[in-house]
Amino acid sequence: MPQTLPDHIEETIRSIRRLHVEHRSMSTVSQRAIDGITAAIARPSFVALLALAVSVWMAANIVGPRLGFPMPDAPPFPWLQGAMTGISLFMVVFIVGTQKHDDELAEQREMITLELALLSEQKIAKLIQLIEEIRRDSPQIHDRRDEEAEEMAKPANSQSVFSAIKETHSAVKADPAD
């Protein structure tokens, strides 16, 4: 029996799904091809296939002459080494391409998270303002000044937050030892 989730959770899941679908739809054909190749390379069956191909190559070049076939790539197998070097180069390019594409999605997620954090901060500041107003207006509660609540009731300026983040990021880039 499938468990039903609250509406706000389902909407959040749909939003995340839309983000992924949008990211995929904005991908170029070559990015999707590279992602597919990288996914194929990452499978254990690819490692097994590669090991089998190398074994067959070596066996054919060692056993082949004994059976009367020519040995096109005698040990230490320079053609095999060249092929493996070429395959490795392409694998690196595919993996880096896929990682770059995935980093774009991660960056979008980070921006959404930051925007939601700022929005949540503004909402919490408003709640503090309202609670403080109730406290001041209520005759049952002793009226006193709460400097910390007053400070927390001020919503953060998103531009100031972004500027502080940029300054911190620039400082870290300038002096990575910190």
More confident residue, 177 or 153: 153
Q: Looking only at Cα atoms, what is the longest distance across the chain?
A: 106
**Which pLDDT belongs to residue 108?**
86
Q: 64 lies in a domain?
A: yes
Q: What is the pTM of this model?
A: 0.59
Does residue 157 surpass a pLDDT of 90? no
Structurally, the chain folds into a number of domains equal to 1
Helix (H) or strand (E) holding 88: helix 78-137
Q: 8 lies in a domain?
A: no
**Which pLDDT belongs to residue 1?**
52
Running DSSP on this structure, what letter comes out for residue 155? P
Show the domain range for 30.
15-174
Question: What is the dihedral angle through the alpha carbons of 99, 105, 110, 113, rounded to the nearest 10 degrees?
Answer: -150
Q: 2 lies in a domain?
A: no
Does residue 50 surpass a pLDDT of 80? yes
pLDDT in tens, 81-131: 999 999 999 999 999 999 998 998 898 888 888 888 888 888 898 898 888
* Distances 65 to 48, 58, 74, 81, 93 between C-alpha atoms, Å: 26, 12, 10, 20, 37
Q: 6 lies in a domain?
A: no
Q: 91 lies in a domain?
A: yes
